[in-house]
Amino acid sequence: MKDNKKMVEAITPINEDFAQWYTDICLKAELVDYSAVKGCVILRPYGYAIWENIQKLLDARFKATGHENVAMPIFIPESLLQKEKDHVEGFAPEVAWVTMGGSEQLEDRLCVRPTSETLFCDHFAHVLHSWRDLPMKYNQWCSVVRWEKTTRPFLRSREFWWQEGHTIHETAEEAIAETEQQLNTYAEFCEEELNIPVLKGKKTDKEKFAGAEATYTIEAMMHDGKALQSGTSHYFGDGFSRAFDVTFTGRDNTLQYPHQTSWGVSTRLVGAIIMTHGDDEGLILPPAVAPYQVVIVPVAAHKPGVMEKAEELRARLSKFCRVKLDASDNSPGWKFAQWEMKGVPLRLEIGPKDMEKEQCVLVRRTDREKMFTPLADLETVIPEQLVHISKQLFDRALENRKNRTFTATTMDEVMAIADKESGYIKTMWCGDEACEELMKEKAGLSSRCMPFEQEHLSDVCPCCGKPAKTMVVWGKAY
């Protein structure tokens, strides 16, 4: 016989084993389940609801800047994937191949899309005629497949859910402006709605997207000091346009190639939320994307009028926030632990004594601050508290990043820091890929980005001593 009662089980302490703590949260907060398909997870209702909120907020931002949604096929013929040389080299080794349709062996194998530049280019070649048709600014929400060897929920899996924006423009300047605009959209979204501070910058050539001229990135720092690449925006120049023969008649009546961008964020962002904000009690969700922003827990629920009052409050709160009433027959203590695990930002407790005083207790998930609050004030206090929680989350994460950001001017310094700290290390860099590889070899660090906000730390590259060209932020990454 199976257990007929679930328990709120303890999770591994965050500072004891961060990786296990992460997995515990993914499973025990009921975000994901492992599936019958190796390396693929199931997004359960609570996990999917977070992603749904992310989608809604981002989609609105995309539409407000003139982007339109489309749906491209799930497959890419091998012959199409091969048209852009760098791109196929980057992706072909890690795709899933469909070789049979029904009982028919396919002549041209189909890969399950790992990303859709090639499909968009093929479509652009059909529908683009004149400069009047430009820009075309498309986006799609879908899942993609990459045959990863080691996988972790949200962070790296064989299938993941994402959006991919693909745009073409009349001029290089416009395309570059689009690339930057979309990176800024991501950064603002992460900071304002996910309460995750991000570092904006440009990837080195070694780390850029297969086929791109330039890749821009937002990097977030997790609780353990490791970096998570959280969104990227690519500028392609006219490389793909030429490879796919995408042309238009320009203002001067000559045939021209459009300039192209792509940009994406994925369910990785849910991983970023977990690892940026969570604690020993479990998940802590940013109010903007929490499936429930407030959970109502009735105390002494059997006493006359308590459940009725709780339901009345639920109905009232549902007009201005996402609210859940836990009317199950579990104890209040069990419910507190359960909803703390699930990271609901604000708990509202209501019992007979509170009812007498026409008040309730609000408890913030971030610091467990208990606030006796007159019932009449909820319409004001709850939105204020949600804003307060957002700010707390952002400030904590920023503080963690500050505490874990280091500066070095020599390789000895780099190695000494990397040896005892986990975080970002800022250094100057000569621009040579050999030095980038040395940094990996000697200190186990990869270049996260060349930040837009540059500082002058020294005159020379710490690896080779040659003149420095730019400042790089290095780190260990997920």
Helix or strand run (H / E) with residue 196: none
Shortest approach of a copy of itself to residue 469 CB, angstroms?
A: 36
Tokens of 434: 């050999």
Residue 93 as a binder of a copy of itself (CB under 8 A): the answer is yes
Residue 319 in the binding site for a copy of itself (CB under 8 A): no
Rounded to whole angstroms, the Cα distance separating 261 from 263 reads 7
66 contributes a contact to a copy of itself by CB under 8 A? no
**Residue 92 backbone phi and psi in degrees, to 5:** -55, -40
- Could you give the string, one character per residue 227-256, with x where binding to a copy of itself holds by CB under 8 A and - elsewhere? --------------------xxx---x-x-
Q: Is 150 in the site for a copy of itself (CB under 8 A)?
A: no
Indicate which single residue of 28, 87, 123, 200 sits in contact with a copy of itself (rule: CB under 8 A). 123
3-state class of 180 per DSSP? helix
Total residue count of the chain as it appears in this document: 478
Which one of residues 20, 85, 129, 280 is an interface residue with a copy of itself (CB under 8 A)? 129
Distance CA 26, CA 13 (A): 14
Report the distance separating Cα 360 and Cα 352, nearest Å. 10
Segment contacting a copy of itself by CB under 8 A, of 64-72, 175-183, 217-225, 421-429: 64-72
**Of residues 292 and 394, the one with the C-beta less far from a copy of itself:** 292
The neighbouring-strand residues paired with 218 are 200, 231
Q: How far apart are CA 268 and CA 326, in angstroms?
A: 29
Give the range of 67-75, 216-224, 369-377, 447-455 binding a copy of itself by CB under 8 A: 67-75
Minimum CB distance to a copy of itself smaller for 190 or for 246: 246
Residue with tokens 């297969």: 210
Supply φ then ψ for residue 342, to 5 degrees.
-85, 0
CB of 323 to a copy of itself, least distance (A): 14
- In the complex, the smallest distance separating the C-beta of residue 140 from a copy of itself, rounded to whole angstroms, is 8
Find the binder of a copy of itself among 68, 89, 399, 433 (CB under 8 A): 68
323: contact with a copy of itself by CB under 8 A:
no
**d(C-alpha 67, C-alpha 146), whole Å:** 26
The tokens describing 322, both together, are 């996402």
d(CA 336, CA 64): 39
Residue bearing tokens 């991000």: 198
Q: Binders of a copy of itself: how many residues, by CB under 8 A? A: 68
Q: List residues near a copy of itself by CB under 8 A.
A: 1-6, 33-37, 40-45, 48-49, 51-52, 68-77, 80, 93-104, 110, 112, 119, 122-123, 126-127, 129-132, 138, 142-143, 145, 147, 158-159, 161, 247-249, 253, 255
